[in-house]
Amino acid sequence: MPLFSAKFLARSDTALSTSEHISTGLSRREFGLAAAAALAMPTALQAHQTPKITSKGTYDITVDRVRIDTGDFRTKGVGYNNSPFPTVLRFKEGEEVTINVKNNLNETTSIHWHGLILPFTQDGVPGISFNGIPPGETFTYRFPITQAGTYWFHSHSGFQEPDGAYGAIVIEPRGGERVRADRDYVVQLADKHPHSGRKIMRNLKRMPDYYNRSQRTLQTLIKDSRADSLQAALQERGMWGRMRMMPTDIEDVQGFTASINGQSTSQNWTGLFRAGEKVRLRFINASAMTYFDMRIPGLKMTVVQADGNDVKPVEVDELRIAVAETYDVIVQPRENKAYSIIAESVGRTGMVRGTLAPREGMAGAVPTMRPKPLLTMADMGGMMGGMGMEGHVMQNMAGMDHSNMAGMDHSNMAGMDHSNMAGMDHSNMAGMDHSNMAGMDHSNMGGMSEPSSVDPSYANGSGLIPRAYNGGKFLSYADLTAARPKYKYRKPSRTIELRLTGNMERYIWSINDVKFNDAEPIVLNYGERVRIRFINETMMAHPMHLHGLWSLVDVGKGSRNPIKHTVNVNPAMTVDIDVEVDEPGQWAFHCHLSYHADAGMFRKVVVRGRPA
């Protein structure tokens, strides 16, 4: 197999710029040889190559029905340009792009440019920014590229995105990358399921635990009884029952095949390198529902970008990438051997291995999946008793002093009535003084770890707090520092509280207990800075994505707070973001778990006013 065979596909233009050697991951000399060969025989390579690279300036994209082969199963899906592999669009900061999208489906489609700042009429959300693209018609997007970094695009119509309608966007900075690399690869993750998105949603509405293959059995009851006594095991199960939940409710949908750039472990996506070279990996989580823990055994990863925005480099052994997030990392393999890129689902129900290698045909090792985690009562932050999912949970206890809580006995909390907690105002809990709680014993709360007010990427219990590979460093939001301030720091003029709510038994997801169809828009005023406070009252993590406006995650760094387009909110946690309202129009705001958004965890945001 030629060196370039996994890197090039047919292109709509007839010239390959020599500046694109970085985009394919080849050295300059290898790029020149590969470019000539690719132009000579593009169609012969098309069946083997991913991702697809399009031309610059004007882009022609078709939306098609495609056949997807994961190596585990084959199914029908949706793709771009008749390819089952994700397309990569490469722009330059400062250029104006024209993108002609032809809909070859028998249903309406759309493309949303995830994370791009553009006029709201070009955002690609049917019913909010435009009417969608009818079958057989072509819609032309035109917008300026005002930013740089790693982003992605996907359909915002029905369940076309989980069915395969997604791709990547790489925008070259006007002055070149802040951190340079010799190779540059997109690593786009996905969770392809044998069932179509429409069928999955129908099954979840009929039986919310339809895809939960990790439920506890009589054998686990016996095991827990031996460890903790039968009474304790039954009492713990009773608490979960009253909450109408299970400790295995970490992933809604299991049974998927994970992929990198459309290729499963057996298909082995490979990026090439020479020993000593710096390799940039652009991680993009395009999954419908799956969070992934990423690591490359034997290599440190230096995180240099989050959601398209440069951050001060931070070295980690592992990171968790929520659905819709992107992270750029730099690695430097120094040995001529294969290294495994491991993406392991947070519930340990799926994994994909890609390979970094000095030559084609090599494959990294496939490790055994790590043990499946269980949610604990500590993860739920005290969501006990008869409260259920509709009640209020404890907010982030960041400002609480727990140093003297060693002796508290929680053994009688199981029967507590929390039914009247729904209207509680938790906004002032951050500074609570617990210095008189000296007798409290937390020993039975599942290994509770105190959350930090500047660490919203972790849950406040043992079930979801990740342990890095071999005990190394695991990335958190608190580690992220903006490389340069995007806005001058100023205090927000007001706070909007958004409670993330739901009912797992009925598979309803909502904001402030109201589904999208019944909700009024969130109104913002052009020019203001507003604080949005997420209070997660559910047992699921939610990646919240605000279209058209940047979200500055409050990790206590002022103007250097990380700048993101998608913010993860873990169970029983409160996360604050500040939004600089600098784009007029109307925008979508939703959980990026496909089936949560469709079930109602979605809002329209209207920005009133405009620049003078």
pLDDT averaged over 10-residue windows placed end to end, the chain, 612 residues: 30 30 39 35 32 68 97 96 96 96 98 98 98 98 97 98 98 95 98 95 79 55 62 61 60 90 98 98 97 97 98 97 98 98 94 98 95 64 38 34 36 36 37 36 32 39 58 94 95 97 88 97 98 93 97 97 97 94 98 97 97 81
Per-residue tokens: 257: 């095949």
What whole-number distance in Å separates Cα of residue 147 and Cα of residue 171? 7
CB 396 within 8 A of CB 574: yes
Three-class SS of 582-602: CCCEEEEEEECCHHHHHHCCE
What pLDDT, on a 0 to 100 scale, did the predictor assign at position 181?
A: 98
Please count the other Cβ atoms lying within 10 Å of the Cβ belonging to residue 20: 16
What pLDDT, on a 0 to 100 scale, did the predictor assign at position 46?
A: 31
What whole-number distance in Å separates Cα of residue 240 and Cα of residue 221? 14
Nearest to 412 by CA among 437, 438, 435, 444: 444
Nearest to 292 by CA among 466, 101, 547, 489: 466
- Phi then psi for 344, rounded to 5 degrees? -115, 125
Per the DSSP assignment, residues forming a β-bridge with 91 are 171
What does the pLDDT look like over 523-576, one tens digit per residue?
A: 999 999 999 999 999 888 999 999 999 999 999 999 999 999 999 999 889 999
What whole-number distance in Å separates Cα of residue 198 and Cα of residue 75? 14
What pLDDT, on a 0 to 100 scale, did the predictor assign at position 403?
A: 36
What whole-number distance in Å separates Cα of residue 106 and Cα of residue 65? 9
CB 207 within 8 A of CB 267: no
> Average per-residue pLDDT in the chain?
79
Exposure of 459 by Cβ count < 10 A (0-12 exposed, 13-18 middle, 19+ buried)?
buried
CB 307 within 8 A of CB 566: yes
CB 332 within 8 A of CB 244: no
What does the pLDDT look like over 351-376, one tens digit per residue?
A: 999 999 999 999 999 999 998 776 66
Per-residue tokens: 307: 């959601």
Q: Which helix (H) or strand (E) holds 580?
A: strand 574-580
Q: Which domains does the chain have, with CATH numbers?
A: 50-176 (2.60.40.420), 180-214+250-373+464-475 (2.60.40.420), 494-608 (2.60.40.420)
Per-residue tokens: 312: 């001060």
Which are the contacts of 446, defined by CB distance < 8 A and separation ≥ 6?
376, 377, 378, 379, 461, 462, 463
Per the DSSP assignment, residues forming a β-bridge with 89 are 169
What whole-number distance in Å separates Cα of residue 459 and Cα of residue 452? 10
Per-residue tokens: 396: 């982030």
Three-class SS of 424-493: CCCCCHHHCCCCCCCECCCCCCCCCCCCCCCCCCCCCCCCCCCCCHHHCCECCHHHCCECCCCCCCCCCC
Cα-based distances in Å from 493 to 496, 499, 578, 589: 10, 20, 10, 20
CB 328 within 8 A of CB 304: yes
What pLDDT, on a 0 to 100 scale, did the predictor assign at position 148?
A: 97
In the chain, what percentage of residues exceed pLDDT 90? 63
- Quickly tell me which residue has 């005290």 as its tokens: 382
What does the pLDDT look like over 233-253, one tens digit per residue?
A: 566 656 656 555 566 567 888
Q: Is the peptide bond before 134 cis (omega within 30 degrees of 0)?
A: no
